[in-house]
Structure 1
Amino acid sequence: MTPPAAGQVRVLLVEDDLRVARVNRDLLERDPEVHVVGSAATCAQGDALAQALHPDLILLDVHLPDGSGLGLLRHWRTQGRTTDVALITAADDEASVRLALAHGAFDYLIKPFTGARLAELIARHRARRLPGSAGAARLDQGRLDRLLGLNQAAPGPLPRGIDPHTLDRVAQALGTSPRAVTAEEVGELVGLSRVTAWRYLEHLVRSGQAVLDHQYGQAGRPVKLYRAAVEQGNGD
């Protein structure tokens, strides 16, 4: 199966309230690179679609007509399915939250939630993804920390004009590039103008997530090249 392009997210919704499912789909697809590839109203339908569609992310309700979403999540984990799963539910008791996390849910949204919180969930999912085939990839500590969500910058307001979802897409494009790239090249990858891509790249440099190099030896001003910052191991 071909790995998804950087930034693209294929989502499966498992939600028995059709009105809520439609609202969630509309919120998700405000991001042009998020695609709801299927919607299920029961545990049985959700299991079948998960097997057939191989989504990148599953958004799962707890209270379903034929069982519990927590039971479905446990079933997927015992079957070896490692797809990112987040709970979106009215179940606000501590026991449900603890069970969801114990069975490997990476996020938990309590209804009602805001569109911004849902967008944050998608950004967290993107940040957890690793380039290449998950089965073949070998991890250094920096990549593992990223998968675990341990090396994300401390939360705080972004500068004016910096959209968190666009920033995540730029960071993903930079992190998956095998070489240093220009702002123009990043803009082409992400669908931004050169100037806009440059602004986001400069923010990544200031926040320590990217490194700026200069290529000299050509006529005119030196070319600015950007590459993802890489943590150095301790050699053990």
Structure 2
Amino acid sequence: MRVLLVEDDVRVARINRDLLERDPDVHVVGSAASCAQGDALAQALSPDLILLDVHLPDGSGLGLLRHWRAQGRTTDVALITAADDEPSIRLALAHGAFDYLIKPFTGARLAELLARHRARRPSGAGSGAPGRHDQASLDRLLGVSGAAAPALPRGIDPHTLERVEAALAERGQPASAEEIGEAVGLSRVTAWRYLEHLVRAGQAELDHQYGLAGRPAKLYRARPGEV
């Protein structure tokens, strides 16, 4: 996944780059500090995903997003910004931003953003073929769950489940229920329940770590190809 950052605060840009590149599939191909630089790099680099601030020294990121859409650029764009007012949010969504993160945000929420981008990417991405969709693949692109989505077991909250899945994917290595619980703000037992559900659903895998004595520790990892 080739990502372009448009962020005028050098420190924030560096932090965001570090967070993004914890994911081994993500490569930040460029970082721009203004609308003009962002526009030039978007044209030169053709990234898969652009993470865009609103308040930039030479204009508004919302104006840049509108400019890109007017040009016919369909690159996935998400806003990462301190602009928390409703008009900015509505404008961003109206101009085709697929996600909007308000600073400060958590690493787990950023991982959710990346997961949503992955789900939106067509199966033939990078092949050069225009591709076609059936309803199921189009619904995934639109983020529509659909009435036919399987019901979750009692006690499993869908938003909490997304956070647990994102935290597991963000780690990039096997993790215990206690570690995931700390990352998401859940007790070990609650995190264990959600992780076991992900294993049953085929969205995570269970490893056993054998020590010198006692029962093996249960470690969980995101299933390859998931999130």
Shared fold per TM-score greater than 0.5:
yes
Partner of residue 30, structure 1: 22
Structure 2: gaps spanning 5 or more residues:
150-157, 171-195, 205-224
In percent, how many aligned pairs have the same letter?
A: 74
Q: Is the 8 A contact 2:109 2:166 kept in 1?
A: no
Query: Among 155, 165, 170, which residue is 2:169 paired with?
Result: 165
Give me the whole-angstrom Cα distance separating, in 2, the residues matched to 1:95 and 1:206: 37
Q: Is the 8 A contact 1:162 1:200 kept in 2?
A: no
Partner of residue 142, structure 2: 148
Partner of residue 218, structure 1: none
Which one-letter code corresponds to 1:155 in the other structure? H
Which one-letter code corresponds to 2:137 in the other structure? R
Which one-letter code corresponds to 2:16 in the other structure? N
Matches within 5 A, 1:61-210: 61-133=53-125, 136-151=130-145, 154-157=158-161, 164-165=168-169, 203-205=200-202
Partner of residue 8, structure 2: 16
Q: Indicate the SS of the match to 1:157.
A: helix
Q: Deviations for 1:17-36, whole angstroms, at most 9, x for unmatched residues?
A: 00000000000011111110
Q: Deviations for 1:86-112, whole angstroms, at most 9, x for unmatched residues?
A: 000011100000000000000001111
Aligned residues: 170
Q: Is the 8 A contact 2:3 2:51 kept in 1?
A: yes
Give me the whole-angstrom Cα distance separating, in 1, the residues matched to 2:202 and 2:115: 19
Give me the whole-angstrom Cα distance separating, in 1, the residues matched to 2:169 and 2:203: 18
Partner of residue 216, structure 1: none
**How has the CA–CA distance of structure 1 residues 51 and 206 changed in structure 2, closer, same or farther, with 3 Å as cutoff?**
closer
How much does 1:146 deviate?
A: 0.3
Q: Indicate the SS of the match to 2:105.
A: coil
Structure 1: gaps spanning 5 or more residues:
1-8, 167-198, 208-227, 229-236
